[in-house]
């Protein structure tokens, strides 16, 4: 269904979905913000759709600007990678504290995380490789640690649920 949905006229459909998401965001009570906006699969589906849009954007950049990006020097690529982390840090240190809980749990992460995903998916594909940070993150040990941590991420809610259930049963 999603493949058919995104085959044609992706942008207008995505704008409609994001407008529905933001209108739904307005009606979620603050006390339920975490449950609805951060945990609920319905709201998280929009994050998934954003990932699909990022893929199309990546393919567009790859098709139209890859030669220009590949011609950048190692130092320039490193600068772009560092700049992307600076933007993320600005979001974390400046914008996040000023935002409401609803925005924090929903759309606020879209910009910095999308930037990181695009930068670190394009740079390593360049002919001469990425910048310094891409080289560091491509280290075999760090990649293996990332694989392991992803496994923990995928099952952590199960362990938290079992732990909380065990605590409740023991305290009765």
pLDDT digit string, tens, across residues 22-71: 887 888 888 888 888 778 888 888 888 888 888 888 888 888 888 888 88
CB 117 within 8 A of CB 54: yes
Percent of the chain scoring above 70 in pLDDT? 92
Percent of the chain scoring above 90 in pLDDT? 16
Which stretches within 33-139 are classed as H helix?
A: 33, 41-70, 74-90, 96-98, 101-105, 110-122, 132-137
| pTM for this model (two decimals) | 0.72
Q: What is the mean pLDDT of the chain?
A: 83
Looking at residue 83, what is its pLDDT?
94
Task: Inform me whether the pLDDT recorded for 4 exceeds 60.
Answer: no
Separation of alpha carbons 55 and 72, rounded Å = 22
Looking at residue 1, what is its pLDDT?
46
Nearest to 106 by CA among 6, 20, 171, 168: 20
Separation of alpha carbons 6 and 31, rounded Å = 34
């Amino acid at each position: 269904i999603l493949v058919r949905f995104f085959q044609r006229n992706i942008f207008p459909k995505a704008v409609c979905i994001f407008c529905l998401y933001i209108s739904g965001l307005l009606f979620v009570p603050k006390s339920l913000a975490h449950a609805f906006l951060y945990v609920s699969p319905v709201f998280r589906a929009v994050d998934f759709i954003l990932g699909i849009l990022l893929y199309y954007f990546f393919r567009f950049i790859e098709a139209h600007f890859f030669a220009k990006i590949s011609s950048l020097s190692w130092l320039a690529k490193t600068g772009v990678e560092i700049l992307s982390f600076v933007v993320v840090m600005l979001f974390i240190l400046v914008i996040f504290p000023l935002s409401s809980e609803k925005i924090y749990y929903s759309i606020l992460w879209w910009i910095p995380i999308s930037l990181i995903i695009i930068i670190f998916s394009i740079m390593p594909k360049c002919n001469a490789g990425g910048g310094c940070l891409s080289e560091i993150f491509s280290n075999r040990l760090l990649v293996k640690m990332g694989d392991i941590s992803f496994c923990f991420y995928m099952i952590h809610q199960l362990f938290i649920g079992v732990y909380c259930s065990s605590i409740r049963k023991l305290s009765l």
